[in-house]
């Protein structure tokens, strides 16, 4: 799985190692971190592209993020696509949660799902919320899910 920085620089070590290194560096600088993980997708013709982000915010001191993009030719219904976005976020959150616990870093999983029932994505809201919270993670949906709806959205090519 290839991850990169926002600048485009490829992260050459496993993402967990890189995240650990970043947490340790930021902690050494007395920066308090909070992490937000989210995924967004975009359909263009027969290709669906996903962007998953790990967003680090430093308390009162900016932030940074890491990005992973992937594509599929599989045709997905809107609810399937929303739940696949959530599963990609949960997979990364789960793989990194021990690091966050060890270093006392708060984490939220953000879903690009609208809380307004007038939007098609809303049909996946209950399932997504149950899945994320059932895994023990804090959950945010639109309009509060900036990691997926803004950061991951910007990472789509």
| CATH number where 75 lies | 3.30.420
- Three-class secondary structure of residue 156 per DSSP: coil
Query: 139 has which bridge partners?
Result: 109
Q: Could you read off the pLDDT of 119-146 as tens digits, one per residue?
A: 988 889 999 999 999 999 999 999 999 9
Range of the domain at 7: 3-154
C-alpha 26 chain-centroid distance? 20
Residue 157: closest CA among 65, 76, 51, 34? 51
pLDDT at 24 over 80: yes
Count of structural domains within the chain: 1
Sheet holding 138-142, edge to edge: 10-11, 3-5, 63-72, 47-58, 33-44, 106-114, 138-142
Distance of alpha carbon 33 from alpha carbon 63, whole angstroms: 9
- Locate 132 and state its tokens: 């994320």
pLDDT at 14 over 90: yes
Query: 12 has which bridge partners?
Result: none
CB 51 within 8 A of CB 155: yes
Q: How confident is the model at residue 21 (pLDDT cuts 50, 70, 90)?
A: very high
Phi, psi at residue 131, to the nearest 5°? -65, -50
Q: Could you read off the pLDDT of 37-77 as tens digits, one per residue?
A: 999 999 999 999 999 999 999 999 999 999 999 999 998 99
């Amino acid at each position: 799985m290839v991850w990169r920085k926002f600048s485009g620089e490829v992260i050459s070590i496993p993402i967990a190692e890189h995240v650990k290194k970043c947490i340790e560096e930021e902690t050494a600088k007395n920066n308090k971190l909070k992490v937000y993980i989210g995924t967004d997708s975009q359909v263009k013709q027969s290709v669906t592209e996903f962007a998953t982000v790990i967003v680090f915010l430093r308390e009162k001191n900016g932030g940074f993020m890491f990005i992973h993009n992937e594509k599929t030719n599989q045709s997905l219904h809107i609810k399937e696509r929303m739940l696949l976005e959530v599963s990609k976020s949960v997979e990364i959150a789960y793989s990194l949660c021990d690091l966050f616990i060890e270093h006392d870093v708060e984490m939220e999983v953000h879903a690009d799902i609208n809380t307004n029932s007038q939007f098609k994505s809303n049909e996946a809201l209950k399932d997504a919320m149950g899945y994320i919270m059932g895994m023990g993670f804090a959950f945010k949906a639109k309009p509060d899910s900036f990691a997926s709806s803004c950061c991951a959205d910007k990472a789509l090519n």
